[in-house]
Structures are given as C-alpha cells and as structure tokens.
C-alpha cells in the first residue's frame, strides 16, 4: 500500500499533466515494493526512466504548488537567467513543440515597471525578426500577471560552451559559423536594429553546426528616443564588458551597426583562441581596455593562423568605427571566401 507522501507526490504529477494515469501506474509497478514507500525513490526512478526531469522531480518533492505549468506550457528545466527574466526549456502541450520560455516574474515587473515595458518591446521586436539564423518567436502573452515569450528552442550549445568543451575553432569552421551570424545581423540592421549584446553565449551552435543568434532584449532601434530610459544606454554602458565596443562603452545610445561588428570581432577572437581579448581586470578595467588598449595579436595565440584572417578580426576590432567593415553584408561576403564544403573537419 502506498504511503500518503507517495500518493501526494503521484497526484501532483497528474495534476500538472506530466504523465498519463495509466503510464504512471506502470512506472510505479516497475519499482520494487520496498521502494514504493519513499517518494524520493519513486522520483529517482521516474527521472532515470526519462518520465520526469530532475528539475521537475525536485519541484514536485517540495510539495505545494510546484509551478511547472504556465498556461499550455509545461516547464522541463531552467536553461538561462538574465537581469530581468528566467528562461526554461518547456513543452507546448497543444502541439508537443519544445520552446525556450522566457518568463518575467510578477515581482520584478511590479518592482520596476520599466522591465515590463522592455519585455513587451522585445516581444514586438521578435515579430519583425524572422530569419533562419535568429531564434524566432513562437508565442507570447500573460497568465496570472506572469508575462512570457516563447521562442524557438535551439538544440546544441552556445558558442561559449562549445569552445569551452571542444576547444577553439579552426579558421574555416569559424568563418562558416560567423558568415551565418553576419547574415542574421544584416537582417536586423536592415530593420534599423543594433543588437548591443553580441557575445558567444548569445550565439547557439546547433548539432548541424549552424548558427542562431539569441536575445534581442537590449536591441536599440536607431533614432529611438521615447524609450531610452527603458532600454538603457544614454550616457552609460549597456552590454557585456568582454565584448563591448569602445563607443558603446562610452554611450550605449550612440551606436550603429558597426558596434555589433566590433562585438562580432571579439566573439571571433574568443572562438579562435579560447579567450577574450581582455580577460583580466574589473568591468571598469575592461571598459578602459576596449577604449584605449590593443588586444594581444591573435597570431600570437593561435598557431598557424593566416595573417589575412588575423587582419579580418583586427579590422572588426578597430577602435574607430570608420576603420571597421562598413556593414554586416560586407563582412558576410569577406567571411564566405574562407568557407569550404566541410569546414568542421579537423575540429
């Protein structure tokens, strides 16, 4: 006979719609009798069998309202956390589709109404950003004052995790990947948008080694005046200091598409060498370094790096925007010349 704690645990699984009743019964029957009296043993059995994620099991074991449902979405596990939102892998119960569910907690929205305006603005931007190398919008809305944005779930790893796990990319592999990034930026820039937070953790590498650009939450519409206080940037730095352009470090409102190209250059630098251009120091130190210092030459860090490709990265990372490539389209054309049919061979 099942213990009350186990019955409560199993009932919560059914209440959340995580498993069908008959399927759950079959899973529990497969457990030795002595283990059926321990909800943690039942949970571990379901996790090992793939019926629950560990995140779901831990939430359910805590009891109360596990918070595993948001309307039609069933939360699977957390996959990211930013300054204002949490991101979960989730499944849309309506069609079984996996999504990346970006959630703005009500407490954050109540504490600072600018966050809600910024979040709603990002939703509106994603309606315009439709491109094969940008993670697209699936759905958006609000349920019980919880605002959400469901985005295309991109399998694979961020470029940051990819390089950390497998080592730096070769030139051809990096060129092919960043040709796709440049293609995505050409689309965004054509809409008058500057991403302002291009970095390896916002660039996904799919199992097919294709690039997807993520997170336009800090994107600036050129000429945008009325929402400057909401999106940030006039008179101070917005973005990630390891990849921020000199002009963005001074005033994140006074930027154009060439600022994103500097960040692309810093990301390429990381992809090829496994380190950021200025890895030492505080955020303030890094801002100063981006403004006034030259990063160590890539050729000193990457054996056998063609000098011509080193020049491509150096051009992207020029301190003066006028000395960089003039557009993402031009960069895409330059990088495409370094591609080959199987650029991932030899990684």
Catalytically active residues are 197
Q: Which of 260, 231, 240 is nearest to 329 (CA)?
A: 260
Decide: 100 and 79 in contact? Cβ < 8 Å.
yes
Q: Which two tokens mark 50?
A: 């793939």
Element (H, E) at 128: helix 113-128
| Beta strands 137-143; 146-152: pairing state | antiparallel
- 171-190 and 257-273 helices, crossing angle to 10°: 160
**2: phi > 0 → left, psi -120 to 50 → alpha, else beta; which?**
beta
Decide: 169 and 177 in contact? Cβ < 8 Å.
yes
Residue 50, helix vs strand vs coil:
coil
Q: Which residues contact 106 (CB under 8 A, 6 or more apart)?
A: 144, 145, 146
Only one residue has tokens 């040709």, namely 179
Q: Which of 172, 182, 196 is nearest to 272 (CA)?
A: 172
Q: Determine the length of the chain.
A: 347
Residue 312, helix vs strand vs coil:
helix
Q: How far is CA 25 from the centre of its chain?
A: 38
Only one residue has tokens 């490709």, namely 309
């Amino acid at each position: 006979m099942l213990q009350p704690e186990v019955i409560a645990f199993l009932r919560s699984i059914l209440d959340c719609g995580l498993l069908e009743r008959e399927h759950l019964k079959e899973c529990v029957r497969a457990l030795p009798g002595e283990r059926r009296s321990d909800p943690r043993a039942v949970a571990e059995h379901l996790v090992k069998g793939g019926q629950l994620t560990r995140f779901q099991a831990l939430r359910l074991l805590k009891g109360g309202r596990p918070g595993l449902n948001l309307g039609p979405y069933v939360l699977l596990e957390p996959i990211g956390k930013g300054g204002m939102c949490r991101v979960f892998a989730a499944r849309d119960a309506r069609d079984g589709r996996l999504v990346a569910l970006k959630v703005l907690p009500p407490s954050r929205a109540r504490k600072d109404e600018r966050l809600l305006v910024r979040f709603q603005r990002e939703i509106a931007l994603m309606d315009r950003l439709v491109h094969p190398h940008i993670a697209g919008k699936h759905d958006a809305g609000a349920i019980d004052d919880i605002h959400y944005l469901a985005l295309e779930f991109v399998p694979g790893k961020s470029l940051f995790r990819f390089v950390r796990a497998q080592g730096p990319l070769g030139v051809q592999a990096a060129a092919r990947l960043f040709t796709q990034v440049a293609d995505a930026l050409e689309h965004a820039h054509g809409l008058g948008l500057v991403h302002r937070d291009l970095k390896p953790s916002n660039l996904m590498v799919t199992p097919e080694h294709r690039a997807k650009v993520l997170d336009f939450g800090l994107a600036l519409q050129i000429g945008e005046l009325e929402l400057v206080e909401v999106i940030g940037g006039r008179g101070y730095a917005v973005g990630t200091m390891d990849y921020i352009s000199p002009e963005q470090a001074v005033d994140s409102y006074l930027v154009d598409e060439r600022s994103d190209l500097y960040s692309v250059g810093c990301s390429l630098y990381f992809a090829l060498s496994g380190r950021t251009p200025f890895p030492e120091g505080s955020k303030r130190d890094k801002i100063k370094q981006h403004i006034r210092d030259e990063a160590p030459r890539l050729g000193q860090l990457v054996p056998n790096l063609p000098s011509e490709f080193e020049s491509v990265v150096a051009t992207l990372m020029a301190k003066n925007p006028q000395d960089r490539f003039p557009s993402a389209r031009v960069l895409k054309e330059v990088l495409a010349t370094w591609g080959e049919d199987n650029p991932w061979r030899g990684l």
